[in-house]
């Protein structure tokens, strides 16, 4: 299933947004993970994984768009959102992948449709490659797969990962008002920050205030930034592109042509590497297309879901 499609611009800023989905902690013995879920009903389950400095609320609108197709479970990765910090302080992509595997296993609902954005895309690729029995399909939105050509956004992440500089940067950012930080984040991640609904901005500010009160927030941010940088320089069979070659699940990869963090040229490599892939480029989207254009991402996700239910689809 190899296809490339450019979606037209859509707009829904004037629509009153739905509230965040209710959350709960999943107790896995030695760890607890916070998830947000849509109501039960659809027979299949989708699991959604956020990126660096994100949380389960990054998927609120897309989960709503797909709630008639799949039961949605959005994960706060360890140390993010409302999930406690990991006991071992490990924020690496492999550690996040292990936590995600445990969540999917704890759901006990069989293989899931896995969605990942940015760093969450990297985590999802690793899970799909190493535990194919748990993944029915894979949807990646601007996945943070290795790209060593220098760009402004990734350079900021690399700086945040530098010893001492990362901790200093976190302290400096923490001194800024949450309103200013939220606006800066949307300006970086959206192609057009004017599409951010005031209620979504308010929610982001409140989430930052919640994070500021947590003693592990700074360590989580720096640890995740360092994790991304390590993945960019990882060689051998555990390199994420090598992992992508092993993914057997039907895959949808969405890139925003105005993404400041992940360049859309990576679509060409994704098309060569993933076995069963459909590529979608959104001309007016930035780094978080599932937030900026949830209706367009949902449209493409529905096509993937329908494809997975086709008996004659290619499985080799």
Tens digits of per-residue pLDDT, 260-292?
A: 999 999 999 999 999 999 999 999 999 999 999
CA angle 151, 172, 33 (to 5 degrees): 80
Q: Are 241 and 146 spatial neighbours (Cβ–Cβ below 8 Å)?
A: yes
**Of 48-57, 94-103, 220-229, minimum mean pLDDT range:** 220-229
Q: Return left, alpha or beta for 107; rule: phi > 0 is left, psi -120 to 50 is alpha, else beta.
A: alpha
Residue 251 forms beta bridges with which residues?
Answer: 138, 277
Q: Are 46 and 70 spatial neighbours (Cβ–Cβ below 8 Å)?
A: yes
pLDDT tens, position by position, 11-26: 455 578 999 999 999 9
Residue extents of the structural domains in the chain: 4-308
pLDDT band at 5 (very low <50, low <70, confident <90, very high): very low
**pLDDT in the model for residue 2:** 44
- Specify the pTM: 0.91
For 4-308, CATH number?
3.40.50.1820
pLDDT tens, position by position, 216-251: 998 998 899 889 989 988 999 999 999 999 999 999
DSSP 251: E
Q: Are 46 and 290 spatial neighbours (Cβ–Cβ below 8 Å)?
A: no
Q: DSSP string of 254-300?
A: EEETT-SSS-TTHHHHHHHHSSSEEEEEETT--S-HHHHSHHHHHHH
């Amino acid at each position: 299933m190899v296809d490339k499609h450019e979606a037209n611009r859509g707009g829904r800023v004037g629509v009153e947004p739905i509230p965040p989905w209710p959350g709960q902690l999943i107790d896995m013995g030695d760890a607890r993970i916070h998830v947000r879920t849509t109501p039960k009903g659809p027979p299949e389950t989708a699991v959604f994984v956020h990126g660096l400095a994100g949380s389960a609320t990054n998927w609120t609108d897309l989960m709503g768009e797909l709630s008639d197709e799949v039961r949605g479970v959005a994960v706060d990765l360890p140390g993010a959102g409302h999930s406690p910090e990991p006991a071992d302080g490990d924020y690496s992509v492999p550690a996040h992948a292990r936590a995600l595997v445990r969540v999917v296993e704890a759901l006990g609902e069989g293989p899931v449709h896995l969605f990942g954005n940015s760093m969450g895309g990297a985590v999802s690729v690793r899970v799909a490659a190493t535990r194919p029995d748990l993944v029915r399909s894979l949807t990646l939105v601007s996945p943070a797969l290795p790209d060593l050509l220098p760009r402004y956004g990734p350079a900021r992440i690399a700086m945040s990962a530098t010893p001492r500089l990362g901790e200093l940067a976190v302290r400096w950012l923490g001194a800024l008002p949450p309103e200013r930080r939220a606006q800066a984040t949307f300006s970086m991640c959206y192609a057009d920050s004017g599409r951010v609904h005031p209620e979504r901005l308010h929610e982001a500010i409140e989430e930052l205030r919640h994070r500021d009160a947590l003693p592990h927030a700074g360590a989580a941010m720096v640890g995740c930034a360092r994790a991304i940088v390590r993945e960019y320089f990882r060689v051998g069979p555990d390199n994420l592109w090598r992992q992508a070659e092993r993914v057997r699940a039907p895959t949808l990869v969405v890139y925003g042509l105005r993404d400041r963090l992940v360049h859309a040229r990576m679509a060409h490599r994704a098309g060569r590497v993933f076995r069963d892939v459909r590529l979608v480029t959104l001309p007016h989207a930035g780094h978080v297309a599932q937030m900026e254009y949830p209706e367009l991402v949902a449209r493409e996700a529905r096509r993937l879901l329908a494809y997975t239910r086709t008996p004659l689809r290619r499985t080799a």
